[in-house]
């Protein structure tokens, strides 16, 4: 019913930028709040950023606030994560997630749909 496919990951130098995209299939996209999570080697998967159904409400982890921006284009069924001023500690597999029912965008258990992830590596 819902498939999420991430793209845009890669290798970037510290201080650089990347833009991740998550394309969703299954309709209507507007029904889903969307988020980005990440998981570094040996660490738990953690919340990065989330956007409400129309993108009017956004929420960020403290570690990325001011550097990352989440946005969505519902006409294209796509959510983006613009990552600026990247740091080596941002290195992780980044996952796109969606939920049709939630009370808090940052709670991982509320997400029903997950992409396969895209690797982001930030070199020193």
Reported as a single tens digit per residue, the pLDDT across 26-73 is 767 888 999 999 999 999 999 999 999 988 899 999 999 999 999 999
H or E element that contains 75? none
Question: Which residues fall within 8 angstroms of residue 22, CB to CB, at 6 or more apart?
Answer: 4, 5, 6, 7, 34, 36, 78, 79, 80, 81, 96, 115
How far apart (Å, rounded) are the C-alpha atoms in residues 82 and 98?
A: 18
pLDDT on residue 101:
83
pLDDT beyond 80 at 102: no
Place of tokens 């006409």: 75
pLDDT on residue 24:
93
- Distances from the Cα of 84 to the Cα of 5, 8, 61, 64, 67, angstroms: 22, 13, 15, 9, 5
| Geometric angle at alpha carbon 93, from 82 and 95, rounded to 5° | 65
What's the whole-number average pLDDT of the chain? 94
How far apart (Å, rounded) are the C-alpha atoms in residues 40 and 45?
A: 7
pLDDT beyond 90 at 87: yes
Read off the pLDDT of residues 111-120 as tens digits, 9 standing for 90 and up: 999 999 999 9
């Amino acid at each position: 019913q819902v498939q999420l496919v991430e793209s845009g990951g890669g290798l970037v130098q510290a201080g650089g930028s990347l833009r991740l995209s998550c394309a969703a299939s299954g309709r209507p996209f507007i029904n889903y709040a969307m988020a980005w999570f990440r998981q570094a080697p040996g660490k738990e998967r953690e919340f990065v950023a989330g956007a409400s159904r129309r993108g009017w409400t956004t929420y960020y982890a403290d570690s990325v606030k001011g550097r990352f921006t989440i946005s969505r284009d519902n006409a294209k069924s796509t959510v983006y994560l613009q990552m600026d001023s990247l740091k080596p500690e941002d290195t992780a597999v980044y996952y796109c997630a969606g939920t049709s029912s939630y009370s808090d965008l940052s709670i991982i258990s509320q997400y029903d749909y997950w992409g396969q992830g895209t690797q982001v590596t930030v070199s020193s």
